[in-house]
Amino acid sequence: MRLTRILSNHSRFSRRTASQVIADGRVAVDGEVCRDPGLDVSRFRSVTVDEAIVQKADRAHYLMLNKPAGYLSATKDLNHQTVLDLIEPELRTCLHIGGRLDRASSGLLILTNDGIWSRRLTEPRVKIPKVYRVTTAMPITAESAASFAEGIWFAYEGLTTSPASLSQLSSHEALVTIYEGRYHQVKRMFHAVGNRVLTLHRQSMGNIRLDETLAPGQYRALSAEEVLSIQ
């Protein structure tokens, strides 16, 4: 939100008066004087006028969860356990999921209260690589890897997926790297080449890799380096 709007929404100043107050050097963002009325200030930064608090900074949360199969990637559900059931109760109401996994899938899941950051993580046009370990019902063919590299036509969306890589580990197992994260994308890609995914486990999103010390259902806060890697 623009700095002038924060002042006019949460203080005695009109939009015009707020601009003048900012120009006079009476406004600080995170303790530093700011004279830019158009500065976009997130809710995770503090704003003061003459040292009086106008906006108190919320605490940003960035969590890595090792999602077990059988849990829904949802904030609530009447019939099934959700990944939020694995998080301490005081955090559940403020978190959303950055890049869902379906109920049968497992692995890296990101939960945060920072919507701008999570959009950068999941927006297809940003092209952040996402790596999945997949087992299939039928043998994986060399033709499948070639089709993935060319892109797969999705009739429902009317588009061809971005080129993806398929690195075969065994006859029925592979690492798949995609750059979009569309609805059930990996499973639909294998279906398009005449195969079926039995298990799907996400290992990484960009430079954020699932911590191997986390047992299924466990989570930890992302490091500062991991958070900044998506900036």
Give the active site residues: 102
Contacts of 181-190 with C-beta under 8 Å, sequence gap 24+, read 181/99, 181/122, 181/124, 181/130, 182/124, 182/154, 182/157, 184/102, 185/161, 186/132, 186/134, 187/102, 188/152, 188/154, 189/147, 189/148, 189/152, 189/161, 189/164, 190/134, 190/136, 190/144
3-class secondary structure, 162: coil
First and final C-alpha spacing in the chain:
18
Burial-class residue 3 by CB neighbours within 10 Å (0-12, 13-18, 19+).
buried
Handedness of CA 179, 185, 186, 188 (dihedral sign): negative
**Residue 161 is encoded by which pair of tokens?**
């997926």
**Residue 108 is encoded by which pair of tokens?**
């890296």
CA neighbor of 43 nearest in space, from 123, 122, 115: 115
> Beta partners for 95?
none
